[in-house]
Amino acid sequence: MKNDKQVGEAMLKDRYCMVTGASSGIGREIALGLAQRGAKVFMVCRDPGRGHAAQEYIWRQSGNSDIHLLMADLSVQDQVRMLAMDFMQQHGVLHLLVNNAGVIMGRRVLTADGIEMTFAVDYLSYFLLTNLLLGALRAGAPSKIVNMTTSLHRMAKLDLDNLQGEKSFSRDSAYARSKLAVVLFTYELARRLEGSGITVNCVCPGACSSGIWSQSSRTIDSFFHALMKGSEQGAVLPLHLACSSSVQGLSGRYFETKQHLKMSKVNVKGTESRSSAASYDKDAAATLWQMSERLTGLVGSA
Ligand SMILES: NC(=O)c1ccc[n+]([C@@H]2O[C@H](COP(=O)([O-])OP(=O)(O)OC[C@H]3O[C@@H](n4cnc5c(N)ncnc54)[C@H](OP(=O)(O)O)[C@@H]3O)[C@@H](O)[C@H]2O)c1
């Protein structure tokens, strides 16, 4: 019987795959896993030094030289537009988009576009980049979108009046709210893309010790981080969604691993889960979509 990697090799050979936030953590390991399966990988990174280091790491570990670096700060909408435009002009086809970039902000910081940073990177960049690349994903159909979220989305209410922490801000609620927005976006996009040959799902990779927790200075957090699994294990479930024939054709679903600790092996079986009740609110998803169009100035989205 073929294992997940062998099936992935058959499905991903020479396929155009883009991963955002590929300079470190789980994104770098997802990019490596795709490279090991023979894909043509486009790594979206914001820092040239970290981007080149990650590219070299993937070249070395995979022996695949078809790994490309695309520079963009995803908190800046003009850079997201430029990234998508360049990619459309140069390649025009995409088989897999993994929206993975993420931050957790200790305080409320606004982006160059005047949008709260967590919301801008962890959700709005997914919305904008995906919509701008839909033409390439249509050209590559059957194609896939994998959005990174977290089980912590269950702690959030959408709260459309405080979407960007305008009224009150806390690190954890800003992160949870942005990731709830990712789940709502995934379900709404799946409804809009029905029959298009493009599938979209979201995934919580489980807790991993990675750079995203660097904004935390709490001693209890460093204690938990010492026990958490590494980014390589965090990439297992997203890679399964990207490669496995067992999820072929599934769309608008949420997957979650409950294996968080270093010593536990990530098992992909039975990971399709129910997300929070709030995430199934179709009216909220439609309103969020309209607000996201307004915030990004996007016209003619999916
Ligand atoms: N780690 C966990 O426990 C956990 C659990 C559930 C879900 N997740 C999700 O998994 C995803 C990956 O997180 P991670 O744990 O691997 O964190 P990480 O190691 O901090 O990686 C985050 C990646 O996003 C990039 N990034 C951040 N802001 C960016 C921007 N403005 N423009 C472009 N790239 C940007 C970072 O680039 P730099 O290298 O330049 O900083 C980095 O490559 C996130 O969406 C996160 O919410 C993580």
Express each pLDDT in 17-60 by its tens digit.
999 999 999 999 999 999 999 999 999 999 999 999 999 999 99
CB of 51 closer than 6 A to ligand 1?
no
pLDDT band at 200 (very low <50, low <70, confident <90, very high): very high
pLDDT at 218: 61
pLDDT band at 222 (very low <50, low <70, confident <90, very high): low
pLDDT band at 9 (very low <50, low <70, confident <90, very high): low
How far is ligand 1, taken at its centre, from the CA of residue 110, in Å? 18
pLDDT band at 209 (very low <50, low <70, confident <90, very high): confident
pLDDT at 113: 98
Cα gap 185→34, rounded to integer Å: 25
Q: Is 175 a catalytic residue?
A: yes
DSSP class per residue in 230-263: PHHHHTHHHHHHHH-GGGTT--S-EEE----BTT
Selected catalytic residue, list 16, 123, 175, 187: 175
CB 199, CB 144: distance < 8 Å: yes
Which residues share a beta bridge with 256? 204
- Which atom belonging to ligand 1 lies closest to the Cα atom of 151? 6
* Residue-averaged pLDDT of the chain: 93
Substitution site in 43, 58, 100 for ligand 1 pocket (most atoms within 8 Å of beta carbon): 100
CB of 46 closer than 6 A to ligand 1?
yes
CB 108, CB 215: distance < 8 Å: no
For ligand 1, atom 6: residue with the closest CA: 150
For ligand 1, atom 3: residue with the closest CA: 207
Residues whose CB falls within 8 Å of the CB of residue 132, separated by 6 or more in sequence, listed in order? 80, 81, 84, 85, 88, 298
Cα gap 217→240, rounded to integer Å: 33
Task: Report the predicted TM-score, pTM, of the whole model to 2 decimal places.
Answer: 0.95
